[in-house]
Structure formats: structure tokens, C-alpha cells
Structure 1
């Protein structure tokens, strides 16, 4: 790696390390560090490795002492998994194992499967050329397909709340100081907040950002609200009513 490129990389990592100090920028900083780790060059200098090690250690320390919400641990877990697979940092496995214990069950199983698939790909790369023809590394989709797991397209995910339903969300006064579970920032008593029909309160911008992607409550998963795709609502309603012939 050229000296100038190496210096730019170290500067970028150092800036992201500073962003890890704020709740508002922690998740995004972890995501960018994860991307850097996944594109890591084997020619990277030791100072670059050291800079990434210090940033990852800072993320782990913040998770242990300040940002304990599973949302933050999930961002950290993605980072530690990427480092463990791509970058020669000894402590990455320890950080990864600690993060696995802090996320929810679904994320924990997903992380374990991701680690297993990465080991398979690493083994395949290691064995490249040993049996005559060169072996092409499997893509993540191919690895998942080999296990009977099919990746869904973006449009197949649960749709967000309909525009009409979003417009009907009410603004209420926070009676007692609370925390918005979306951003993990405080909502002082007397301030205004947007309410879901179930009664849970959130910052206006936080809730609107959330319901554009999902029509469920971030806290209790209440989802008796119209979604953006009427077809999805119709199918869901038929499944719940167990109407015959839906899949025949």
C-alpha cells in the first residue's frame, strides 16, 4: 500500500474512532469501520493495523461502559466479526464472543452462522489450486443456498407504515422523563413526542424514520397499522384468519 494511501486510511480510522464516543454516530462509525475491515488489504502497514485495533478497542470499551443497548452491541458485533475474519488483530475473537452474549437470540444465531460460513469460505480459499483446477470462492449467497437458506430481495421485506397512517400519528407531551428507544437519547418531561397507537413515545424524527421501514412499534412490536403495500396487509389478514386455499 502506498504511503499516502496508508496515511489517508489511518486518518479515516482515527476520525471514526472519535465518532464512536457519541451515541448518535456510534452505529454509523461501526458500520464504516466494518466496511474498511471487509476491504482490508494484506499489504496494509502495521500502523494501519494498530489504528484499527485501537478503534475497535474503543468501540468495545464504549459498549461495556456506556452504550449497553443491544442495538449498539449488534453494530459492534458486525465490526468484530469483520475484523476477526479479515484483519490480523488478536483480541478480535474475544470482543466478538463478548458481543455475541449481548445481542438478542436472533442476532446471536445469525452471527454464529455468519462466522461458520466465513470459515467455510476461508477453508475454500486456503485449498485453492490444491486439486488441479483453481477454486472460485463461494459468494455469501451461494454459501447460504448450500445450507437451504434463500436471501430475500429488498422488496420482500416487511413494508413500512402507510402515508395516511403516518399522518395520523399524534404528538403528545412527555409527562415523565423517558428514553427514545430508537436513538437512545433522553426525552425530557414536558417535551413533545410522537406516539404510536399502543402509547409508546418517541422523538418525532426517530419514529417517522422507523415507520417508513416498518409498521410495528420499536418497543412492543405492536403492528395493527396499515402498511404501505395493501397486498401485504391482505395476505397477512388472510393468514391470521386462516382462510383456506391461500397457498393451494
Structure 2
């Protein structure tokens, strides 16, 4: 028997700062979009014989910048799909990722509409601070790395992006997926698809 942390509460917080700069002239109207991510994790651990929770905050390494460029006549849907593919590696909840893409595409469109007459290229920068907040209850349980998910918490599967309504599995890192999705994933990889936490082989 060993102590294991069972996640009772999970919240993903995200804050966003954006700026735009003017770049030297180009032959076409362009907007360069740069995303920067600063991830952190806060764990509140409730121990059986203690009144005060143990709070752990971890600032994870900055994720590399992701760059995109958009021409005036680029297809918006294709642009969204391109950004979504790149940002899937970031520690963002799918809803937060979709919101970030919506903000970026809206700003790109607005910049094209108000492009200064003597500047054909603008640079749009997004700084994203992603903070995972988790509350754990420390319990004694057998060493099992797969735990049933809370069926009442509305959450999306980060693998297929559909809402989880039934047949969910949670990993010990706290991320929850459709049972079929995570079982297929774990056949080829022994890490969480969201945070890369290493599972037992």
C-alpha cells in the first residue's frame, strides 16, 4: 500500500496579453502571429491528518515560440487548423485553446482591415500564461496508475476534443480522456498526451 494523490478538483486558468508591431514594407499584406506560453502548475494537497493543505507551485519551462504568417487572401479555416495543430502540444484546456485561436483570428482580420497605408506587414504577439490548479486528497490505495474519472465533471477529451459524457478514464496526473482514446494512445506511448507525465510500463 502507498499514498497516492487522487484529484478531486481541476481548473485551468489562462491569461493573455497581446501587442502588435509594424514591420518593414513587403510586397503583400501580411500579419505575422507569434505565440509565447508560460505554463505553471499549482497543487493543493489535502492530507488526512492535517488541517492545512500543502501547496506546491511549479513554474514549468517556457514553451518555444510558435510563429505563423497570414497573407490577406489566406483561407481562415485553414489558418485555424494550422494554429490548432501547433498549439495541441501546449498545456491548455481544449476550450482555452479554441478561445485563443478565436482571439488570434479576430485580431488578424481586424489588422488586415485597418492596415496602415505605408506598411504592408504587421506582427501580432500573444503571451499566454497557463496555470493548472488542482486539489488532491491524499489517500492510501493500491498502486494503480489508471483511476476512474468523475462522471459529473463536464470536460473535453484532449485527444479527440469531444465532450466526455461516459466511458472516461483519468490518469494519475489528473488528465481525463475517453476510455477508447486513451487506451489507443497508451498502446504507442507511455506518457500523458497533455502533460507528458510518464506512466508505468
TM over 0.5: no
The structure with the largest helix share of the pair is: 1
The structure with the largest strand share of the pair is: 2
Report the structure number with the largest CA radius of gyration. Answer: 1
